[in-house]
Chain A
Amino acid sequence: MPATAAVAPPPTAPEQLAARLSSGDSDESLLPTLREIKNQIIGNRTKKLLYLRLRAVPKIVALLSSSSSPSPVIIQAAAAVGSFACGVEEGVRAVLDAGAVPHLTVLLSHPDAKVVDSAARSLRIIFQSKLAPKYDFLLEENKTFLLSLLNSTNENITELAASIVAHSCEKPTEQTSLCDAGVVQKLVSLLGGSSNQRDTSLDAISAIVKNNPEVATKFVSISNGKAFNSLMGLMQDRYPRTRLLACVCLISIEQAFPVYFQEMQIKTKLILILLDLIEEAGRVGDEAPFVLKGLIGESEELHRQALSVTAAERLCGYLRKGKAVLEARRLEGILLVLAELGSKLEQSRAQLIELQVPSLIIDLLKHDCAQVRVAACHVIKNISRSLKHLCAGRFGSESIVMPLVQLLCDSSTSVQTAALDAICNVAVNLTTKKSVLLQSGGVSILCQLARSMHSEVRLKSVRALRNLMFLLDRKDKDLILTELTVSTLTILISDPDPLVQEQALALAGNFVDGSGVSTKFIFSEDISIIDAVSRQLKGECSPGMCIQGMFFLANMAAENESQKDAVMDCILPTSLDLSISHPNSFLVTFLQSKERLLRLSTLWCLINLVNPDQRNSFRVSALQGAGIISQLKTMVNDPCLDCKLRVRMVLERCLENRE
């Protein structure tokens, strides 16, 4: 305790202490006050917020720059400033707004070593925050200053320098500039220092190397690969945090310079180490799954490799044991890794289903944290793409469907969209037993969401309805369209978003089933779905939309006479078209398309139209007049076998009709 003779002990009430700061003193008499404030706030978020509200920060920062402040006062003030910035966002803001950074930077050259230490520490804490100012590395004087910090013998200062690099180095120009100035070399030498220096240095190296092949190449050649070997060694360091940071660093290098990592060995090691780290306590274990996801993401090869080292079993085992107590962040991470594993390979999905992943994560669909709910939906979405299990109706059970349907009404939009994605895939259930989904009340929610303001929500809900509608019983199809209403469907067919239009057309196509009974919905009052479809097809529409539109018309044409007539009316050129001298039907353009599916869907429509019955010769002549038959004749050797077959079918039937 500093000797403060003849001064009464300071009060402990924050209000009184904060008031003392305003006394205008900056000498030793302020020391007990500062010390008391510092000791109250360190580790204590509640007290920090209190002092922030009492506007203590600007007064304390002012003491840093006052020339009359003696060293002990500066030391305490700097420590207090650092503490305010530690882990409290408002604290960082207050400290930055009060202009602490330039003052602390000046103090780095103070003659008193303790002052330098205190300032360096606090600056380092500030630079660990996302809110810290961006350091401009491209300015020569800044680079020189940074290098001088890196050359210091003071551990706090070198750590500060590394922190600045880790926080601010982003652009390729900055990375290259720092690399050329020898910063990477300096950081590599810090790898041999104390564990704190090593950790901050690893962070900094990751930042410099990230997405920069040039710098990554330079790194691996430092000291003939010795630097790279040190990194490999640090992957197995005794401290989990160091191991994790080393993994992150290696992954940055691998992604910038993949050729160096062609052999699987290192990547396999990384996977195994990260799987181990996921079981570590604290933030290391929370962040490790995200790092693992970043490593294996998008690569089938790495997915296979991860599966071969029992990644799925380990993650499931870990979830099974501890999901009740795991931190939300860690749960989210593990789920995202499982979702990633199920995203590409059928073998992965099969394995995850065998491991009972769906039932394992059902209760996580109700987790308090929205991100966990989203991640759980992603898992179901990806795993339910397994064809083998979809056919078996594995995903139609109540235990999965009900929680998903509930999430459609979640307060968070990201959860809603994730649940929609999952339901979309679950609704593809290729058996016709979709009863659970139909009875769950999900249909009315989906229809409501189809009227949402957000185009993404509309898109996904219409897609889900489309999938649900496929191969359903007549009465169930009618129920869905009654719920959705024909007018909504018509509006969706003309939605401002082309993707929504495409799904709506597909939904309409799935609704028509060729039994002739869907008529009452297609022509109700003055709303005509077929008119809406017709408008779209004749306008500017994407190939995807045209394909769906043609499938709709093809299905219509499979129904009855009046349907066929309606389709004919749609596809034949109207008087308007004739006047602009376009005697050909738009079908001709479709038949000329490079898109195989568009040709095919158009051909199916034609096949259904010329199906042998009474009025066919009439229709054939009409088609002839619209240029369709001539177009078909040029397609007898279409490169696509399916199309070739259908072309010949149409032409044969047309010929039959002639006879």
Chain B
Amino acid sequence: MVFLFSIFARTHEASLRHCHCQISTRKFITRDEWERKLKEVKIRKEDMNRLIMNFLVTEGYVDAAEKFRLESGTEPDIDLATITDRMAVKMAVQSGNVQDAIEKINDLNPEILDTNPELYFHLQQQKLIELIRTGKIEEALEFAQDELAPRGEENPAFLEEIEKTVALLAFDDVKNSPYGGLLDMSQRMKTASEVNAAILTSQSHEKDPKLPSLLKMLIWAQNQLDEKAVYPRINDLSTAKLEDSAV
């Protein structure tokens, strides 16, 4: 992690220093020089710990967060108890128990679904998908009529999605129908993610962890520097290995 941040800081510094050089000639930086400069950059451990804690908390890894807190002494920026509640909702969606999820959200904060019509719609859509998945066609039809159709009346923007979902009912082999993708687990994950974000926002917490943003900045900074210099790059974020660039 230190390595990654050092690279980012170094790249950014290099970008700034070399910005006066000609476009046609790029400065060449040897690996030794690069590694030496990297060592000079100081990153605080506390900052990194907070980033990790922020990641664990936002993604909802309660146990890991608790353990990390004990081992590193880093305080989470959110009450860990609320994470448990949030994770219970997320798990319910991921397991396809949508009604349970809805009830849990309402217990947590009754305003969330009232002020997030898109989320409410997606949850009901997911409910219909689950009914179709388990073959409860009668119930699905009734649900579509009683619950999904009114959503379309309240908000015409949802009509297209409703049509796609209801269309599933017309096929025997639902999985291989044109909108069969709705039955994939990825659809559940998408809804679960939406729920997670909405709960975080309602708790005045940022819905995205900081770490991915930092990595994006690293890639951007390297791309900027590529125009001005040849230097050892990180091409694989997961290993953060320095690779020599072809000249």
Whether a CB of chain A sits under 8 angstroms from the CB of B154 is: yes
Q: How far is the CB of A468 from chain B (nearest CB, A)?
A: 41
Interface set, chain A 162-195, CB cutoff 8 A to B: 194-195
A43 with B114, Cβ < 8 A, contacts A194-B204, A195-B204, A196-B204 known: yes
Interface set, chain A 194-210, CB cutoff 8 A to B: 194-197
Interface set, chain B 138-181, CB cutoff 8 A to A: 147, 150, 153-154
Q: How far is the CB of B112 from chain A (nearest CB, A)?
A: 8
A42 with B106, Cβ < 8 A, contacts A83-B114, A86-B111 known: yes
Main secondary structure of the interface of A (DSSP, over half): helix
Specify which chain A residues have a CB less than 8 angstroms from the CB of B4 in the assembled complex: none
Whether a CB of chain B sits under 8 angstroms from the CB of A46 is: yes
Q: Which of B103, B115, B154 contacts A1 (CB 8 A)?
A: B103
Please tell me the number of chain B residues within 8 Å of chain A, measured between CB atoms: 18
Q: Mark B110-126, 1 if CB is under 8 A from A, else 0.
A: 11011111001000000
Inter-chain CA distance A458–B64, complex, in Å, is 76
Inter-chain CA distance A363–B150, complex, in Å, is 31
Specify which chain B residues have a CB less than 8 angstroms from the CB of A509 in the assembled complex: none
Specify which chain A residues have a CB less than 8 angstroms from the CB of B114 in the assembled complex: 42-43, 83, 86-87
**B150 A39 Cβ-Cβ under 8 A:** no
Whether a CB of chain A sits under 8 angstroms from the CB of B7 is: no
Q: Which of A43, A82, A118 contacts B117 (CB 8 A)?
A: A43
Specify which chain A residues have a CB less than 8 angstroms from the CB of B111 in the assembled complex: 82, 86, 121, 125
Inter-chain CA distance A60–B147, complex, in Å, is 24
Whether a CB of chain B sits under 8 angstroms from the CB of A38 is: yes
Specify which chain B residues have a CB less than 8 angstroms from the CB of A35 in the assembled complex: 103
Greatest chain A CB density within 10 A among B114, B117, B120, B206 is at B114
**Chain B, Cβ-Cβ closest to A41:** B114
**A79 B204 Cβ-Cβ under 8 A:** no
Whether a CB of chain B sits under 8 angstroms from the CB of A45 is: yes
A39 with B103, Cβ < 8 A, contacts A45-B154, A121-B111 known: yes
Inter-chain CA distance A474–B206, complex, in Å, is 73
**A46 B204 Cβ-Cβ under 8 A:** no
Q: Mark B90-113, 1 if CB is under 8 A from A, else 0.
A: 000000000000110010001101
**Chain B, Cβ-Cβ closest to A48:** B114
Interface set, chain A 115-129, CB cutoff 8 A to B: 118, 121, 125
A79 with B106, Cβ < 8 A, contacts A42-B114, A86-B111, A196-B204 known: yes
Please tell me the number of chain A residues within 8 Å of chain B, measured between CB atoms: 22
Specify which chain B residues have a CB less than 8 angstroms from the CB of A39 in the assembled complex: 102-103, 106
Specify which chain B residues have a CB less than 8 angstroms from the CB of A1 in the assembled complex: 103
A44 with B110, Cβ < 8 A, contacts A39-B102, A86-B115 known: no
Specify which chain B residues have a CB less than 8 angstroms from the CB of A125 in the assembled complex: 111
Q: Mark A18-49, 1 if CB is under 8 A from B, else 0.
A: 00000000000000000100110011111000
Inter-chain CA distance A79–B204, complex, in Å, is 20
Specify which chain A residues have a CB less than 8 angstroms from the CB of B202 in the assembled complex: 196
**B204 A83 Cβ-Cβ under 8 A:** no
Inter-chain CA distance A196–B153, complex, in Å, is 30
**B110 A83 Cβ-Cβ under 8 A:** yes
Q: How far is the CB of A126 from chain B (nearest CB, A)?
A: 12
Q: How far is the CB of B91 from chain A (nearest CB, A)?
A: 15
Specify which chain A residues have a CB less than 8 angstroms from the CB of B117 in the assembled complex: 43
Inter-chain CA distance A38–B106, complex, in Å, is 8
Inter-chain CA distance A196–B150, complex, in Å, is 30
**B120 A44 Cβ-Cβ under 8 A:** yes
Inter-chain CA distance A294–B204, complex, in Å, is 29
**Chain B, Cβ-Cβ closest to A1:** B103
Inter-chain CA distance A79–B112, complex, in Å, is 12
Specify which chain A residues have a CB less than 8 angstroms from the CB of B206 in the assembled complex: 238
Specify which chain B residues have a CB less than 8 angstroms from the CB of A83 in the assembled complex: 110, 114
Specify which chain A residues have a CB less than 8 angstroms from the CB of B120 in the assembled complex: 42-44
**A46 B106 Cβ-Cβ under 8 A:** no
**B115 A44 Cβ-Cβ under 8 A:** no
Specify which chain B residues have a CB less than 8 angstroms from the CB of A197 in the assembled complex: 204
Q: B residues engaging A (CB < 8 A)?
A: 102-103, 106, 110-111, 113-117, 120, 147, 150, 153-154, 202, 204, 206
Closest 4 CB pairs of A and B: A194-B204, A43-B120, A43-B113, A46-B150
5 extra interchain contacts, Cβ-Cβ under 8 A, other than A79-B110, A87-B114, A87-B115?
Answer: A38-B110, A43-B117, A43-B120, A46-B153, A196-B202
Can you name 13 A-B pairs with beta carbons within 8 Å? A1-B103, A38-B106, A42-B106, A43-B114, A46-B153, A46-B154, A79-B106, A79-B110, A82-B110, A82-B111, A83-B110, A86-B114, A121-B111
